[in-house]
Amino acid sequence: MRKNLKRIKIGDIWGLLNKTAAFSAIIVIVYLLIYLTKRDNRILHECSSYTIAYVTDVNRKRTKTYVDFYTIVNNKKHFDFSHEGSDCKINPGDRYLVKFCIDDIRTFLLFSNKQIPDSIKTAPKEGWNKMPF
């Protein structure tokens, strides 16, 4: 009767625990990414202003375009970057509309389809309360 029973090895249990831990970690990371994206969108909806993003550099890759830019809010320059689609037409020297959180300037949304017209020279010190155009 004992010949038919399999012995469970410590290595088998350890392998199962590693797979379970890896799967759990992936679930937690996906949840956090979804939560943080929703949180940023909520923050932008609640306390936001608009200003000008001055594009300084554009790095085009196969699937994404990395856009370096700065904004001027309350007479301070803030440097940041954004990931845009590969079909993005942004070039260095261009100016685009950016929505930012008043309380945290690092929470922003670059509108790569809303180029600032030449008739607008600068943004107000604290930014616009609504889209200027």
- What the block records as the tokens of 75 is 């007479």
Residue 43, pLDDT score = 65
Residue 2, pLDDT score = 55
Residue 8, pLDDT score = 63
CA angle (44 as vertex; 104, 37 as ends), nearest 5: 95
Q: Which class for 70: exposed (0-12), middle (13-18), buried (19 or more C-beta within 10 A)? A: middle
Reply yes or no on whether the pLDDT at 67 is more than 90: yes
Q: Are 69 and 55 in contact (CB under 8 A)?
A: yes
Residue 6, pLDDT score = 62
Q: Are 86 and 129 in contact (CB under 8 A)?
A: no
Q: How many CB atoms lie within 10 A of CB 21?
A: 10
CATH domain 48-115 topology: OB fold (Dihydrolipoamide Acetyltransferase, E2P) (2.40.50)
Domain ranges of the chain: 2-43, 48-115
Report field, pTM of the whole predicted structure over 0.85: no
Residue 18, pLDDT score = 78
Beta strands in the chain (DSSP E): 48-60, 64-73, 76-85, 95-101, 108-115
